[in-house]
Structures are given as structure tokens and as C-alpha cells.
Chains A and B, each alone.
Chain A
């Protein structure tokens, strides 16, 4: 392990030594070689001026134009979308109004029909109940008559029964006058 490390350190040291000892470094930084300045600066001036002219005359106007056109198009489309949106809102409003009107109409028609039906029904009901009352009254009257009739015939029946019973019991004849008197008192006592 130790010899390995020594070996690696030796290699690193050797590389660094070779790099530092080379003639270029001994001559100093290449950047500080004043003789190379003028050709560099001459070409820097030429190339940068050319680049500036190419950029300001050709490249940048083109890009700027394309971006501007796109911006215009987007604005146009936005404006168009805005008018379409306004149209749609208007259409919706008129639709809403029409719907509300239709609803109100339907409601008034319904109320009218309802009122009409209700009044008709009320009239019919009143008619019916009047008729029913009438019928009831007639029935009651008839009932009273029947009852009276029944009560009247009750006396006759009672007289007949009494006669038959007394004949059976006594074997003799009893006068009609007596029987009706007795029945009359008995009926009166019952009532």
C-alpha cells in the first residue's frame, strides 16, 4: 500500500515538474507577450466591427420584425377573441331575457288556467252541495212521513193483535172502542 502511494505521488510530482519546467512557462505567460498584441487587436477591431454591422443591419432587424409581427398577430387575435366574447355574452343575455319572458308567460297562463279551473270547480261544488242538501232534505222529509205513517199503522196493528189475543185468552168479544182506548193509552205511555 505504502509503495503504491509513493508510486502515485512520484507520478504526480513527475507530471507537475514536467509541466512547470517546459520552455513556454519559462518564457512567461503567453498572454503577456507584447509582440502578439497588435495582430490580436487588429483582428479584434475588424471582426467586432463586422459583427456589429451584421447584427445591427441584418440579424437584429430580422428577429425584431418577426417578434413584432407575432406580437401584432397575438394582439389581433386577442382583440378578435374579445369581440367574439362580447358577442357571445350579448347572445347569452338575449337568450336569458327570452327565457325569462317565456317563463313569466307560462306562469301567467298557468295562474289564469288555475284560477279558471278553481272557480269552475267551486261553482260545480256549490251546485253539487246544494243538490245534495236538497236530496237530503227530501229524504229526511220522506223519512218523517214514513215514520208517521208507520206510527199510525202501529195503532191499527196493535188493535188487531190485542183483539186477537183477547179473543184467544178470554174467548169473548171485546168492543173495538175499548181496545182502541187501551192501545191508545199504552202507546201514549210508551211515547
Chain B
């Protein structure tokens, strides 16, 4: 009987050692490469015709462009345009990773806390650096909301600092936990299909079908949430409230 967590095991495919660093190509690394290839092909092959009246594929490519462009416009404003390529790459990377992970026997690298936490830290550090470059020392006024009496500062400032520091943690755990939980649930129910036989196996199978549909929603939603929160943090960094 397969363990429901076995699907998350990292397997080394090509061992590579660069000095002290273990840079082996693992199943996670392979699916990262596949994700980048899929995103690039999706966007470039869809746009080869450059039609004024787009076909289905070109429409999807343009739709994803305008989706993220609109998200930045609404959440960050005009100053956010510089960060559009990064936010777009982030969204497509997570979305395609989640969707490719829905293919049976594939690997979902967004279900690994190491990957999601690194991405969250890149966002967090990047946003903080942007804020400090833009506002200098004034950035630290972010931790004391305007209009709050100074008496409250000793209580409020630590809370604000803590909530700021917990951003990368909540950002990374939300994505990792959602992906891991969904895939584990499907696997647990899948384990019941054959043992319950031709009569009883239909019940878990139905659950799997429903869960699979639900997981496609989660795959999109988590990519969206990660990106929207990145935009909101970027907005905080640029406008300080």
C-alpha cells in the first residue's frame, strides 16, 4: 500500500555536485524546467500569428497578460508597471506548476515548503528593499499607523513589526499547505478504491472526481492569492499605507 506522502519524495535524477553545493537535477528540478518550458511555449506559440482578431490560444495568452496587468493596475497603480514582468513570471510559474502537478504521476514542486518559502522570501526581501530605497528611514513609520496616540506605540509597533515579519511565513505556508493537503487527500481516497471492491469502490472514486475538480480551482486560486498578496505588499512598499 502506497503512502499518501510518498508522492512528495524528492528523487535525484541526475547527480550534479558543484564544489560544496549539491546541484543535482531532481524530480522537482525537472518539473521546474517543464513549467518554464510550458509557460514559454504557451505564450510564444500562442502569439506567433499576432492576429488583430485573436484565436482561442492567442486569447488565452492575452488574457493572462491582461489579468496580471489589471491586477497590478488595481492594486499597485502606475508605479507598479516596472514590476509587471516579475509579478507575471511569479503568477505563471506557480499556476503552471500547480496545473502540471494535477497530471497523474507528475510532481508538484509548489507542495514543498523550501520552494514556496524561498519565493515568499524573495518577494518579502525585494519589497522591503524597494520600500527602503523609495522612502529611506521614513519606511519605519510604516510600523506606526498615522493617527495613533503615542501612548499606544509600545504595544502597536511590536505587533506591526511581527505582522510584517510573518508575511513570508503565511505566504509560503498557505501555498505549500494547500497543495500538499489537496494531493494527500486525493491519494488517501484513491487508496480505498481497490480494497473496497467493485461495489464499495465507487464512493471514494466519486470523492476523488470531486476533489480533482476542486484541486483545479485551488491550483488557480493559490497562484492568484500568492500574486495578489505580492501586489499588495508592493503597494505598501511604494505608498506606505
By a beta-carbon cutoff of 8 Å, the part of chain A in contact with chain B is: 8, 11-12, 14-15, 18-19, 22-25, 29-33, 35-44, 46-48, 50-52, 54-56, 58-60, 62-67, 69-70, 73
> Which residues on B sit within 8 Å (CB–CB) of A19?
1-4, 188, 191
Interface of B is mostly: helix
Q: Complex formed: what's the CA distance from A180 to B12 in Å?
A: 173
Assess whether B32 is in contact with A47, with CB atoms less than 8 Å apart. Answer: yes
Q: Complex formed: what's the CA distance from A42 to B111 in Å?
A: 17
Q: Complex formed: what's the CA distance from A56 to B32 in Å?
A: 18
Assess whether A54 is in contact with B29, with CB atoms less than 8 Å apart. Answer: no
Measured between C-beta atoms, what is the minimum distance from A135 to chain B in Å? Answer: 92
- A38-B21, A69-B52 are known contacts. Are A25 and B3 too (CB-CB below 8 A)? yes
Chain A to chain B contacts (Cβ below 8 Å), 11 pairs: A19-B191, A22-B1, A22-B3, A31-B180, A36-B114, A43-B29, A56-B86, A59-B47, A60-B88, A63-B43, A66-B52
Residue of A nearest to B25 (CB): A43
Could you say which of B58-66, B72-80, B140-148, B221-229 contacts chain A?
A: B58-66
Q: Complex formed: what's the CA distance from A66 to B59 in Å?
A: 11
Measured between C-beta atoms, what is the minimum distance from A126 to chain B in Å? Answer: 81
Assess whether A24 is in contact with B114, with CB atoms less than 8 Å apart. Answer: no
Pick from B10, B39, B196: contact of A11, CB below 8 A.
B196
Pick from A14, A32, A44, A50: contact of B195, CB below 8 A.
A14
Q: Complex formed: what's the CA distance from A19 to B118 in Å?
A: 30
Q: B155-191: which have CB < 8 Å to A?
A: 176, 180, 188, 191
Residue of B nearest to A55 (CB): B89
Interface of A is mostly: helix
> Which residues on B sit within 8 Å (CB–CB) of A52?
85-86, 89
Assess whether A31 is in contact with B112, with CB atoms less than 8 Å apart. Answer: yes
> Which residues on A sit within 8 Å (CB–CB) of B85?
52, 55-56, 60
Assess whether A40 is in contact with B88, with CB atoms less than 8 Å apart. Answer: no
- A19-B191, A40-B115 are known contacts. Are A48 and B4 too (CB-CB below 8 A)? no
Assess whether B22 is in contact with A39, with CB atoms less than 8 Å apart. Answer: yes
Interface membership of chain B positions 1-42, coded 1 if the CB is closer than 8 angstroms to chain A and 0 otherwise: 111111011101000100001111110110011011001100
Query: Number of B residues whose C-beta is below 8 Å from A?
Result: 60
Pick from B4, B6, B8, B33: contact of A47, CB below 8 A.
B33
Assess whether B44 is in contact with A62, with CB atoms less than 8 Å apart. Answer: yes
> Which residues on A sit within 8 Å (CB–CB) of B21?
38, 42
Verify if B93 is at the interface (C-beta below 8 Å from A): yes
Q: Complex formed: what's the CA distance from A58 to B176 in Å?
A: 30
- A8-B196, A59-B40, A64-B65 are known contacts. Are A37 and B50 too (CB-CB below 8 A)? no
Assess whether A54 is in contact with B36, with CB atoms less than 8 Å apart. Answer: yes
Assess whether A40 is in contact with B89, with CB atoms less than 8 Å apart. Answer: no
> Which residues on B sit within 8 Å (CB–CB) of A42?
21-23, 29
> Which residues on A sit within 8 Å (CB–CB) of B35?
47, 51
Given contacts A8-B200, A38-B22, 4 further A-B contacts (CB under 8 A): A19-B191, A40-B29, A55-B88, A60-B65
> Which residues on B sit within 8 Å (CB–CB) of A56?
85-86, 89
